[in-house]
Amino acid sequence: MSTYKTLITDVLVVGAGLAGERVAVEAASHGLDVIILSLVPPRRSHSTAAQGGMQASLGNCAMGEGDNPDVHFADTVKGSDWGCDQDVARLFVETAPLAVREMAIWGVPWNRVVAGKRTLPDGRVIEEKKEKEGLITARDFGGTAKWRTCYTADGTGHTLQYTMDSMVIKMGITVHDRTEAISLIHDGEQCTGVVARCLRTGDLRVYIAKSTVICTGGYGRLYSASTNAVINEGSGMFIALNTGVVPLGNMEAVQFHPTGMVPVWILITEGARGDGGYLLDKNLYRFMPDYEPKKKELASRDVVSRRMIQHMRKGYGVDSPYGPHLWLDIRHLGAKHINTNLREIANIARNFAGIDPVKDLIPVRPTQHYSMGGVRTNIDGAAYGLKGLFAAGEAACWDLHGFNRLGGNSLAETITAGRIIGKKVAEYTLGATLSYNYELVDKAVKEQENRIKALVNGWNGKENVYELRKLMEQNLMDYVGIFRNGKDLQKAVDNLRELYHRSLKIGLRSNGEGANPELAQALRLPGMIKLALCISYGALMRTESRGSHAREDYPKRDDANWLKRTLAYWPEGADLPELKYEPVKITELPPGDRGYGESSAESQGGKNG
Amino acid sequence: MADRELTFEIFRYNPQKPEVKPYLQTYKLKETTGMTIFVALNQIREEQDPSLMFDFVCRAAICGSCAMVINGRPRLACKTLTKTLPARIKLFPLPVFKLIGDLSVDTGTWFRHMSLKTEAWVHTSKTFDPKAQEERMDNETALKIYEAERCIECGCCIAGCATANIRDEFLGAAGINRVARFMLDPRDERTPAEYFEVVGSEEGAFGCMGLMACDDNCPMELPLQMQLAFVRRKMASIGIGYKPGKGIKLA
């Protein structure tokens, strides 16, 4: 028998970003015992990197006047290219304003309406009303009919996370940071917790819980050029996938953000364009109005990213050692605006590219940014396939975003879904009893111990984890990017399949003792490659273009055949996911024209263009 | 510059294996354009020594994970370009914080303890009413709170602080700045006397020796010296200027 420490709790939250902490706060406020596990101290979570803001239809600022949940709903559904579940979108847009106001009571210093006239960078004059002064204001973001993105200067994610964590601390919620969940304990029907590895000592621990909630964020780091933090490796998704009974939804829906800074791929927030920034080509020509006369730089992210690639393919990109790129120009916004409202951008440009955006252009290219797909759940956040398992935030496919997420809807989803799903988790947990099978737990730990021993001793082979990882990243980057086609996708699937087999033969080069980082990577890589296969195989099979999924060989959205969600399962012993499909819930808005993008009547290359 | 060969001397120690004494290990690396310590350390781990421990999360100077002592100064490794350093680069873990291994230290536990000690949350008697409009706030006030909230808890100010290095319970600049953040916030209902309990001691505002390395080392360029002066002034006025019945107005 092995020795390991076992901890028991009511609710186990895996991941301490905004979604995870919001779920934890909700569950704890129902009197439940909660433990949060996190790879890093909560305030280091990737949520803190969100600069721009969160959407909620408060309608306080002049350009947000007349906004309401109905308008937000329509924007979200169009943004998703009708791929989202509309009952979820409706619940979300109705709850988001509450979630924003609640964060204000807890301490977020939201920017407020300042009364008076001002001139926008494009020359329009707007007037903020006296009676709205001091209420929470909003800025413009892509794909929205109104200014709806609430923000705190350049650090919205930071202030939200610090405030949320202050509630976690105030409520005395237990956080085990530097702890990684490496497998779910389950019997095929019920989830009873996780096996975790301590990243301080390397020891294995068992957490037994009535309910387990996966809030581990996205998988951006599967791609070699991603805006994501280095911890975003999709671990929560693949431990769910590894059960064989929990499916991942729409993994082929991958968002590329138009403005990752070349060559470090750090995000330049959409707020830069929302506040009036332009995209320029090598001739310093502002090209977006030619493609998208209505929304210009502020069409949805999938559309802007494709237009940028299209324009560079025509030869208008700026050559660089890192491939062609375009320019982001915010110089006309002025030093004061750049150094306060867009300070984070200014600092990033100065620190990491040695340029000053007050007088210089910023080199940008579309960069992997967000995972629309994730652990498939119902509207309560309950995962398909296992009782007692939930998911929220980017790790989940709830499904609010469909095939393209709007800027500002991810931060909004973290705290809004956290609030809603936290309540559902609490209700479920209050009605649940703790029962678990000791043999099942011991078997789950043994399985992980054996994996570790095999890696340390090289029993299965001597493959190098870092080499395999690079190959995985490159395959996704080269063949499963912004524009996709059958030939390349098939190549990606074949290559990744081979890589998956090789990843089962990894052997460490170091001794694997203690909190060894090579071991941590080696434990994750097979799961990461499984996710890469779910993405590329799902993309290969989906023979249409929808939102961020753009097939050059199938350029049209095909509602007759593809108005459905992909569900990827990983049967035991398989080397490819098994794909199933389910219908998308359309409750209010039937599929139609997005009003921007290639197939819109209003854009170049559209029906009339 | 791009042709230089860099020599890294890196502190190695695993507290779980105390029988192996701390030592400096040398790695050589060819410098590339735009190379940061983040790029360099990952390259060393992937190509030369997969056991090397260090922490990065955002790699964009936002999360505060990667502070370490680089050629004698506490800095964020992710935004330190190698071209700003000589060809010989010495890396040590931050002092004061508990060592996890090599360059990795436990800042998370220290900062959670600091938050608990200063009760770093908005103290309010109000509860959330989902039907009500939000309470109004002057935008200038919101921006002022945000300025103090910008601390990323990287620990550079603590590691470079003489007092924090000799006095375990000293709150340091990060702690004092944190208290200032709540003092500035009209939503926080704590009285001056309650704040005095938190920072009016040698562990708080009066423990500082005034060397101001915190202000020099802060990668966010927070006005830590001013925040200290602000908090000290408040504390002093509570001590000497208290008039019964009139109360004390903060900020």
pLDDT band at residue A598 using 50, 70 and 90 as cut-offs: confident
The arithmetic mean of pLDDT across residues A571-597, rounded, is 95
Provide the token pair at A176.
């085990």
ipTM computed for the complex:
0.95
Instruction: List, for residues A512-553, the tens digit of each pLDDT value.
Output: 998 999 999 999 999 999 999 999 999 999 999 999 999 999
pLDDT band at residue A595 using 50, 70 and 90 as cut-offs: confident
CB contact under 8 A, B108 and A133: no
What is d(CA A233, CA A356) in angstroms, rounded to the nearest whole number? 32
Asked, for residue B250, whether it belongs to a domain, the answer is no
Q: Is B231 left (phi over 0), alpha (psi -120 to 50) or beta?
A: alpha
B79-106 core/surface letters (b: 16 or more CB in 10 A; e: else)? bbebeeeeeebbbbbbbbbebbbbbbbb
CATH code at position B70: 3.10.20.30
B143 with B62, same domain: the answer is no
Chain CA centroid to CA A600, Å? 26
Does any CB of chain A come closer than 8 Å to the CB of residue B16? yes
CB A138 within 8 A of CB A110: no
The arithmetic mean of pLDDT across residues A108-134, rounded, is 94
Where do we find the tokens 């300042």? A114
Nearest chain A Cα distance for residue B63, angstroms: 5
CA-wise closest residue to A336 among A361, A357, A350, A352: A357
CA-wise closest residue to A492 among A217, A222, A247: A222
Residue of B121, B123, B138, B182 to mutate when probing chain A, most A C-beta within 10 A:
B121
CB contact under 8 A, A351 and B61: yes
CB B143 within 8 A of CB B95: no
> What percentage of chain A exceeds 90 in pLDDT?
87
Strand-pair category, B5-12 with B88-92: parallel
CB A241 within 8 A of CB A248: yes
Residues of B in contact with A102 (CB under 8 A): 128, 130
B74 with B154, same domain: the answer is no
B217 with B124, same domain: the answer is yes
Cross-chain CB nearest to A229 (options B63, B101, B133): B63
Q: Which residues have CB under 8 Å from A314's CB, separation 6+?
A: none
Cross-chain CB nearest to A107 (options B63, B100, B187): B187
Provide the token pair at A315.
């030869």
Catalytic residue among A22, A148, A257, A401: A257
Does any CB of chain A come closer than 8 Å to the CB of residue B61? yes
Model pLDDT, residue B197: 86
Instruction: List, for residues B124-160, the tens digit of each pLDDT value.
Output: 999 999 999 999 999 999 999 999 999 999 999 999 9
pLDDT band at residue A182 using 50, 70 and 90 as cut-offs: very high
Helix (H) or strand (E) holding A417: helix A409-430
Provide the token pair at A418.
């956290």
Average pLDDT, chain A: 95
B77 with B167, same domain: the answer is no
Asked, for residue B112, whether it belongs to a domain, the answer is no
Model pLDDT, residue B220: 93
Asked, for residue B113, whether it belongs to a domain, the answer is no
Does residue A57 register a pLDDT over 60? yes
At A267, is the secondary structure helix, strand, or coil? Answer: strand
Residues of B in contact with A133 (CB under 8 A): 136
Instruction: List the 67-126 stretch of A: residues with Cβ below 8 A of B.
Output: 98, 100-102, 104-107, 109-114
Instruction: List, for residues A327-349, the tens digit of each pLDDT value.
Output: 999 999 999 989 888 888 898 99
CB contact under 8 A, B57 and A229: yes
**Secondary structure of B140-190 as H, E, C letters:** HHHHHHHHHHCCCCCCHHHHCCHHHHHCCCCCHHHHHHHHHHHHCCCCCCC
The arithmetic mean of pLDDT across residues B77-93, rounded, is 96
pLDDT band at residue B60 using 50, 70 and 90 as cut-offs: very high
CB contact under 8 A, A134 and B137: yes
CB B217 within 8 A of CB B156: yes
B93 with B123, same domain: the answer is no
Model pLDDT, residue B243: 53
**Secondary structure of A350-377 as H, E, C letters:** HHHHCCCCCCCCEEEEEEEEEECCEEEE
CB contact under 8 A, A514 and B46: no
CB pairs under 8 A between A and B: 190
The burial class, CB within 10 Å (0-12 / 13-18 / 19+), for A98 is middle
Does residue A608 register a pLDDT over 50? no
B79 with B123, same domain: the answer is no
For B233, the domain range is 118-128+136-240
Q: Tell me how crowded residue A320 is: count the other CB atoms within 10 A of its CB.
A: 12
Does any CB of chain A come closer than 8 Å to the CB of residue B120? yes
CB contact under 8 A, B136 and A135: yes
The arithmetic mean of pLDDT across residues A183-200, rounded, is 97
Q: A273 catalytic, yes or no? A: yes
Model pLDDT, residue A607: 38
Residue of B38, B39, B44, B63 to mutate when probing chain A, most A C-beta within 10 A:
B63
B111 or A604, which is more confident? B111
CB contact under 8 A, A230 and B130: no
Asked, for residue B234, whether it belongs to a domain, the answer is yes
Asked, for residue B16, whether it belongs to a domain, the answer is yes
Task: Tell me which chain B residue has its CA closest to the CA of residue A58.
Answer: B133
The number of distinct structural domains making up chain B is 2
Residue of B52, B134, B182 to mutate when probing chain A, most A C-beta within 10 A:
B134
Does any CB of chain B come closer than 8 Å to the CB of residue A344? yes
Residues of B in contact with A42 (CB under 8 A): 108
B85 with B35, same domain: the answer is yes
Instruction: List, for residues A94-110, the tens digit of each pLDDT value.
Output: 999 999 999 999 999 99
B10 with B83, same domain: the answer is yes
Residue of B139, B151, B182 to mutate when probing chain A, most A C-beta within 10 A:
B139
B44 with B147, same domain: the answer is no
Asked, for residue B249, whether it belongs to a domain, the answer is no
At A478, is the secondary structure helix, strand, or coil? Answer: helix
At A277, is the secondary structure helix, strand, or coil? Answer: coil
Model pLDDT, residue B118: 95
Instruction: List, for residues A365-403, the tens digit of each pLDDT value.
Output: 999 999 999 999 999 999 999 999 999 999 999 999 999
Question: Distances from the Cα of A98 to the Cαs of A66, B78, B137, in angstroms?
Answer: 18, 37, 17
Does any CB of chain B come closer than 8 Å to the CB of residue A171? no
pTM across the whole model: 0.95
Q: Which residues have CB under 8 Å from A494's CB, separation 6+?
A: none
CB contact under 8 A, A229 and B130: no
CATH code at position B157: 1.10.1060.10
Residues of B in contact with A513 (CB under 8 A): 14, 16-17, 51
Where do we find the tokens 């704590």? B190
B100 with B147, same domain: the answer is no
Asked, for residue B12, whether it belongs to a domain, the answer is yes
Provide the token pair at B113.
């303890």
Torsion sign over Cα A133, A136, A137, A143: negative
Instruction: List, for residues A415-469, the tens digit of each pLDDT value.
Output: 999 999 999 999 999 999 988 899 999 999 999 999 999 999 999 999 999 999 9
Residues of B in contact with A221 (CB under 8 A): none
Cross-chain CB nearest to A514 (options B14, B60, B128): B14
Task: Tell me which chain A residue has its CA closest to the CA of residue B188.
Answer: A107
B86 with B123, same domain: the answer is no
CA-wise closest residue to A353 among A363, A344, A343: A363
Bridge partners of A326, per DSSP, are: A364
CB contact under 8 A, B136 and A263: no
Cross-chain CB nearest to A135 (options B58, B111, B134): B134
CB contact under 8 A, A44 and B64: yes
Does residue A606 register a pLDDT over 60? no
B142 with B93, same domain: the answer is no
CB B101 within 8 A of CB B113: no
pLDDT band at residue A609 using 50, 70 and 90 as cut-offs: very low
Asked, for residue B248, whether it belongs to a domain, the answer is no
Catalytic residue among A273, A325, A369, A546: A273
User: Within 13 Å, how many C-alpha atoms sit on residue A27's CB side?
Assistant: 33
Model pLDDT, residue A605: 55
